[in-house]
Structure 1
Amino acid sequence: MKKMQIFEPAMCCSTGLCGVSVDPELLRISTVLSALEKNGVKVERYNLSGSPQEFVNNRVINDYIKEKGVEGLPAVVLDNEVVITGRYPSNDEFVKLLDIPDTYIAGRPVRARASKITLKKSGGCGCSGGNCC
């Protein structure tokens, strides 16, 4: 099985789904990764603020950041090779890169719905005590 890792810029929580406004792309990625995991496909996801040591330990991403800086994140590494930078893979790209059936993702884009978002009343952004990175 292919090994995919997603290295993301610093966010105040591991998924980026906290706060007042939720980025629909981060919601889509979280949903896709959850669907993949339910189908036995594990994609590792690392946030610079939550897992900085992973950025240091991974030579491929470390070299990439030295060359391009953190502005080039997110970066997708597949079998120790950077394959996508500056954005997340589309659903079709996940299927092709991981060589999996499209039914694992269901092929439908996920849309964020404001009515489904519950905001925490402490601190405004949803982070512990309102203290974002």
Structure 2
Amino acid sequence: MSKVEIYDPAMCCSTGVCGPGVDPELLRVSAMLNVLESEGKKILRYGLSEDPMAFVMSKTVNDLILNEGVEVLPVTLVDGEVKKKKGYPSNTELATWVGLSEEELLKLVVKAQMASVINN
């Protein structure tokens, strides 16, 4: 099973989905990652503000920041290999990297939404 790591730029909180002006892209990514994590997929997310040592400890990410600046963030690694820079992965990319089809991922999202409605 692949390990997906997302290195976020500095944000106000660990997910960036707080405050009065929530970025819909951050909301989408956060929701997708939560669904994948709940299915046992290996997803790690590091925030520059919350976990700066993760950026230092990853030679790949550290080198990217030194060579391209923090503007390179967010960066996504899959099994240690850079798959995306300067933007968040699409639903299709996330699904592919964890061994699902986009349709399977969307079914999981609907399932999570239904469970949330039932539990509330």
| TM-score, scaled to structure 1 | 0.76
Q: Counterpart amino acid of 1:66?
A: L
Instruction: Extract structure 1 runs of 4+ deviating beyond 4 A.
Output: none
Q: Counterpart amino acid of 1:14?
A: S
> Is the Cα contact below 8 Å between 2:4 and 2:76 reproduced in 1?
yes
Q: Secondary structure at the match of 2:34?
A: helix
Q: What is the distance in 2 between the residues matched to 1:108 and 1:28?
A: 14
> Is the Cα contact below 8 Å between 1:39 and 1:104 reproduced in 2?
no
Determine the structure 1 residue equivalent to 2:9.
9
- Does residue 27 of the first structure (1) align with residue 27 of the second (2)? yes
Determine the structure 2 residue equivalent to 1:93.
93
Which consecutive residues of structure 2, in runs of 5 or more, have no partner in the other structure?
110-120
Determine the structure 2 residue equivalent to 1:72.
72
> Is the Cα contact below 8 Å between 1:36 and 1:104 reproduced in 2?
no
> Is the Cα contact below 8 Å between 2:2 and 2:42 reproduced in 1?
no
> Is the Cα contact below 8 Å between 1:74 and 1:86 reproduced in 2?
yes
Q: What is the distance in 2 between the residues matched to 1:104 and 1:19?
A: 31
Identity of aligned residues (%): 45
Q: Counterpart amino acid of 1:96?
A: T
- Max Rg structure: 1
Aligned alpha-carbon RMSD (Å):
2.0
Q: Secondary structure at the match of 2:106?
A: coil
Q: Counterpart amino acid of 1:44?
A: L
Determine the structure 1 residue equivalent to 2:47.
47
> Is the Cα contact below 8 Å between 1:55 and 1:61 reproduced in 2?
yes
Q: Secondary structure at the match of 1:105?
A: helix
| TM-score, scaled to structure 2 | 0.84
> Is the Cα contact below 8 Å between 1:73 and 1:87 reproduced in 2?
yes
Q: Determine which structure has the larger helix proportion and give its number.
A: 2
Aligned length: 110
> Is the Cα contact below 8 Å between 2:3 and 2:78 reproduced in 1?
yes
Which consecutive residues of structure 1, in runs of 5 or more, have no partner in the other structure?
110-133
Higher alpha-carbon deviation: 95-104 or 48-57: 95-104
